A and B are shown apart, each in its own frame.
Chain A
Amino acid sequence: MEFLLSDEQIEMQDSVRRFLEKTCPSTTLHEIFDSEDGHSRELWQGIVDLGIPAMIVPEAYGGLGLELLDLAILTETLGYATTPGPFLGHALCTQAILQAGSEEQKQAWLPKLASGEILGSFACAESNDCWLPEQLSLKSEQSLSGTKQHVLYADESDIIVMALAEGGFALLERGASGLSVHKRKLTDRTRHIADIQLDNTPIEHLAGSTDAAAKVFDTALILLAADSFGGARRCIDQAVEYAQTRSQFGVLIGSFQAMKHQLANMALEVEPMRGLYWHSAYAFDHEPLAARRQAALAKAHICDRFLQTARNTIEAHGGIGYTWECDTQILLKRALFNYAYLGTPSVHRKRVADLADW
């Protein structure tokens, strides 16, 4: 019984945290947030240099051969800093090829994704809030016509892996014929998404299976949960720090009992969620029977609480928290992304109940 991170895992988290503190302080974060493409090459290169894209790639394909838990704990650290950029799409692209690709496809793509030589992305949603693998209707054929929505960094990515109906997957290369990207005004500018339109676009078919689709989808849920836990923890730290420095009526506002109780209630919701997301990531590799339900529960609960915690954090800050220049607005928007992307908490709560045969 050792439900703890190893010294190596804690050291990995620390080095990522130190890197982000140096490379992506608040001023840089806001610059990227306000930029056109929400993508700093320098920041992404640093993430690549830290080996994050290589983590779950087996050593045979140039990766580190680690488990999803290792990637999840670093996702928490990235979430804590509301790290902008293409990490999530790249990680899901990698997992999709790992789970659904043929030997040749793995050899062709995984080393390049692990080393950051190419940037990958992932697409699933089609329309009307349909995210779940069993809701998809685009079918795998020689070429495809149709729409995929909310695709992460569609413009910048070299390849996009699309989840399709019946557990199918297809790989799309940048500049493919008939591919067009349609941007909209974004809420969370730390993760850029766009709709892609395919018009008789040639694709590379991946074998896939419903099990592979489930695993890729669960990976996405777990990483969103981990990111949300990091973001929620950051909210607490921000709110506490503000309460320890802001004075009114001649005293620190943190000495008021109303403030203390508000912050204690927030911390009370957030801190225990660490174990929930750890276990969901652990279950992915070690408890296959529980894995699907745990991933759904973690996504539903933690993304839900992150959004509420972000709202509470802004309230605890008073007027300054309501401004564009305060980090709290970025936390709120990150929380909104995590809440909605891949389906809202109520969608996943329904799955949790169904998966238990209630």
Chain B
Amino acid sequence: MDLSYNAEYEQFRTTVAEFLKGHWPVPAEIAEQPRHKQEAWFRTQAIENGYLYRSVPKEFGGSEQEADILKATIIREEFSKVRAPMEAPGIGNMMLVPTLLECGTQAQKERFVSKTLTGEYKWAQGYSEPNAGSDLASLRTRAELRDGPEGQQWVINGQKIWSTLAQYADYMFVLARTEPDAGKHAGISYLLIDLKQPGITIRPIKQVTGGTEFCEVFFDDACTPADWIVGQRGDGWKVSKSTLKHERSSIGGAQTSVNLFEKLLQLAKETTLNGQPAIKDPIIRDRLVTLEGYVQSHLYSNYRQLSMAAAKQNSGYVGLMNKLINTNIGHEVAALAKDLLGENLLYMPPTKGRATGPEKWLNQLMGSLGVAIAGGTSNIQRNIIAERGLGLPRESGDT
């Protein structure tokens, strides 16, 4: 056991740090440009040096590096030290790009990957439906191949929901039923759709925080070219699986929980309880350390998983737990925060712009509920842990 990095990796860390010194914050001549142009410039440099989009081939705009989870970790650590931009956020880079690289045609990769990486194309996810949530495979949005003005095309009818930021997106990847006579899973295909067309209506949903991160999307004879299908007809469920896995692992990082705990600690130092700083209150101290026990367990469990991945070992069922552990820590942070906030609970933070006072914790308090639901609810996570992790019998029902 050795928690340090060997000389090769320490050298790599130095190289990354030196790169950052020259590139972020951006040099004076770039610094005059607007923020998004600074970020775009920085990302181009970082890709050239092999620090971003490491698993994406060069021909599609990535840096095509050999997979090395320790290097990836060092890059993330060093970038976050100076708050340099990482890969462009969004569902396109998180889910669509890995899916296309795995299952897409050459033409699809050429058409979509590089412009998604740069942020030129923004994507929305079209999975959930009003009556197909946790039981996603019961989805009913249907797509039929029909003759169109330029040959055959898919015609899509139905409704999707919980599409994150669809109101700003250009395209959507959609699970739709194309084989109505096939089985529940075997009837689904994975289609790409241009959202800027008359057959599509997008209606943002106002959520518990007052913000609008999600949308309902209605398809009324919306069209997409016949070859904008990823994988074969009826393979959509399989194609989508790799991306769901991807989303889960990206939520599961312990660093998020560690950072959240440190912010909570700061809140406890800054707020007052019974006439003294809350951090001096014996009950608050006890609860904070109780929570830290979970946070540190999660952190060192992640170090172990990282080490196992680097050594190409299978980490077993612990990987299935990351999302739920993070969710539970978020709930517990919220539980402590509400007792520190007191009267601040009475006021909502602004929906636009940055909240600066303690009221910004309302976003964590409510947002932690969103974390518990998005990407597979906690009860679904428990089913997965029990069935795939502990080996308990699968439930009856057409799962």
- Could you tell me which A residues sit within 8 Å of B by CB distance? 1-6, 69, 236, 240, 243-244, 251-252, 254-255, 257, 259-261, 263-265, 267-268, 271-276, 278-279, 282, 286-287, 297, 300-302, 304-305, 346, 349-350, 352-353, 358
A39 to B335, CA, bound (A): 46
> Is B339's beta carbon under 8 Å from chain A?
no
Q: Is the CB of A271 within 8 A of B391?
A: no
Q: Is the CB of A4 within 8 A of B293?
A: no
> Is B306's beta carbon under 8 Å from chain A?
yes
Tell which of A3, A254, A302 has the most Cβ of chain B within 10 Å: A3
- The A-contacting residues of B in range 1-40, CB under 8 angstroms, are 1-5, 9
Q: Is the CB of A1 within 8 A of B285?
A: no
Q: Is the CB of A257 within 8 A of B383?
A: yes
> Is B351's beta carbon under 8 Å from chain A?
no
A195 to B302, CA, bound (A): 43
> Is B294's beta carbon under 8 Å from chain A?
yes
> In the complex, what residues of A have CB within 8 A of residue B4's CB?
1
> Is B328's beta carbon under 8 Å from chain A?
yes
Given contacts A274-B304, A275-B303, contact A243 B292 (CB under 8 A): no
Q: Is the CB of B393 within 8 A of A255?
A: yes
CB distance from A245 to the nearest CB of B (A): 11
> Is B206's beta carbon under 8 Å from chain A?
no
Q: B389 is contacted by which of A267, A276, A305 (Cβ under 8 Å)?
A: A267
A310 to B248, CA, bound (A): 30
CB distance from A19 to the nearest CB of B (A): 24
**Extra A-B contacts (18), CB below 8 Å, given A4-B304, A5-B1, A243-B392:** A1-B5, A1-B310, A3-B3, A6-B1, A240-B391, A255-B395, A260-B387, A264-B382, A267-B317, A268-B321, A268-B328, A272-B298, A273-B297, A276-B300, A302-B293, A346-B286, A349-B285, A349-B290
> In the complex, what residues of A have CB within 8 A of residue B298's CB?
272
Please name 13 pairs of A and B residues whose Cβ atoms are closer than 8 Å in the assembled complex, sorted by A: A1-B303, A2-B2, A3-B300, A6-B1, A257-B383, A264-B390, A267-B390, A275-B297, A275-B304, A276-B297, A282-B3, A350-B285, A358-B288
Given contacts A255-B395, A274-B304, A275-B304, contact A265 B5 (CB under 8 A): no
Chain A residue at minimum C-beta to C-beta distance from B289: A349
Q: B289 is contacted by which of A3, A243, A272, A352 (Cβ under 8 Å)?
A: A352
Chain B residue at minimum C-beta to C-beta distance from A265: B382
> In the complex, what residues of A have CB within 8 A of residue B296's CB?
276, 279, 297, 301
Chain A residue at minimum C-beta to C-beta distance from B1: A282
Tell which of B73, B269, B288, B396 has the most Cβ of chain A within 10 Å: B288
Q: Is the CB of B386 within 8 A of A263?
A: yes
A346 to B288, CA, bound (A): 12
Looking at chain A's contact residues, the main secondary structure is helix
A51 to B258, CA, bound (A): 39
- The A-contacting residues of B in range 110-136, CB under 8 angstroms, are none
A250 to B255, CA, bound (A): 45
Given contacts A265-B382, A275-B303, contact A1 B70 (CB under 8 A): yes
Q: Is the CB of B383 within 8 A of A2?
A: no
Q: Is the CB of B1 within 8 A of A2?
A: yes
Looking at chain B's contact residues, the main secondary structure is helix
Given contacts A278-B300, A346-B286, A358-B285, contact A352 B292 (CB under 8 A): yes
Q: Is the CB of B382 within 8 A of A261?
A: yes
Chain B residue at minimum C-beta to C-beta distance from A353: B285
Chain A residue at minimum C-beta to C-beta distance from B268: A358
CB distance from B172 to the nearest CB of A (A): 33
Tell which of A5, A264, A267 has the most Cβ of chain B within 10 Å: A264
Given contacts A4-B308, A278-B304, A349-B286, contact A268 B385 (CB under 8 A): yes
A181 to B70, CA, bound (A): 56
A259 to B328, CA, bound (A): 19
> In the complex, what residues of B have CB within 8 A of residue A273's CB?
297
CB distance from A98 to the nearest CB of B (A): 21
A243 to B390, CA, bound (A): 10
Q: B301 is contacted by which of A243, A272, A282, A349 (Cβ under 8 Å)?
A: A272
> In the complex, what residues of A have CB within 8 A of residue B321's CB?
267-268, 271-272
| Chain B interface residue bracket vs A | 35 or more
> In the complex, what residues of A have CB within 8 A of residue B293's CB?
276, 297, 300-302, 304-305
A346 to B70, CA, bound (A): 37
Tell which of B9, B321, B393, B396 has the most Cβ of chain A within 10 Å: B393
Given contacts A263-B386, A300-B289, A353-B289, contact A3 B391 (CB under 8 A): no
Tell which of B288, B307, B318, B386 has the most Cβ of chain A within 10 Å: B386
Tell which of A261, A272, A350 has the most Cβ of chain B within 10 Å: A272
- The A-contacting residues of B in range 374-390, CB under 8 angstroms, are 379, 381-383, 385-387, 389-390
CB distance from A300 to the nearest CB of B (A): 6
Q: B307 is contacted by which of A1, A252, A257, A282 (Cβ under 8 Å)?
A: A1
A358 to B264, CA, bound (A): 12
Q: Is the CB of A278 within 8 A of B1?
A: yes
Q: Is the CB of B385 within 8 A of A264?
A: yes
A216 to B42, CA, bound (A): 52
Given contacts A272-B318, A272-B325, contact A4 B1 (CB under 8 A): yes
Given contacts A3-B304, A276-B297, A352-B289, contact A260 B328 (CB under 8 A): no
> In the complex, what residues of A have CB within 8 A of residue B5's CB?
1
> In the complex, what residues of B have CB within 8 A of residue A6's CB?
1
A251 to B396, CA, bound (A): 11
> In the complex, what residues of A have CB within 8 A of residue B317's CB?
267, 271
> In the complex, what residues of B have CB within 8 A of residue A305's CB?
293
Given contacts A275-B304, A300-B289, contact A2 B311 (CB under 8 A): yes
CB distance from B382 to the nearest CB of A (A): 4
> Is B371's beta carbon under 8 Å from chain A?
no
What 1/0 flags go to B135-174 for Cβ under 8 Å of A?
A: 0000000000000000000000000000000000000000
A236 to B301, CA, bound (A): 18
> Is B265's beta carbon under 8 Å from chain A?
yes
> In the complex, what residues of A have CB within 8 A of residue B311's CB?
2, 4
> In the complex, what residues of A have CB within 8 A of residue B325's CB?
268, 272
A297 to B295, CA, bound (A): 11
Chain A residue at minimum C-beta to C-beta distance from B279: A358
> In the complex, what residues of B have CB within 8 A of residue A3's CB?
1, 3, 300, 303-304, 306-307
A6 to B318, CA, bound (A): 19
Q: Is the CB of B265 within 8 A of A358?
A: yes
The 9 closest A-B pairs by CB, nearest first: A275-B300, A301-B293, A260-B386, A272-B301, A349-B289, A272-B297, A254-B392, A264-B385, A264-B382
CB distance from A84 to the nearest CB of B (A): 28
Q: A69 is contacted by which of B1, B308, B394 (Cβ under 8 Å)?
A: B1
> In the complex, what residues of B have CB within 8 A of residue A300's CB?
289-290, 293
> Is B353's beta carbon under 8 Å from chain A?
no
Chain A residue at minimum C-beta to C-beta distance from B308: A4
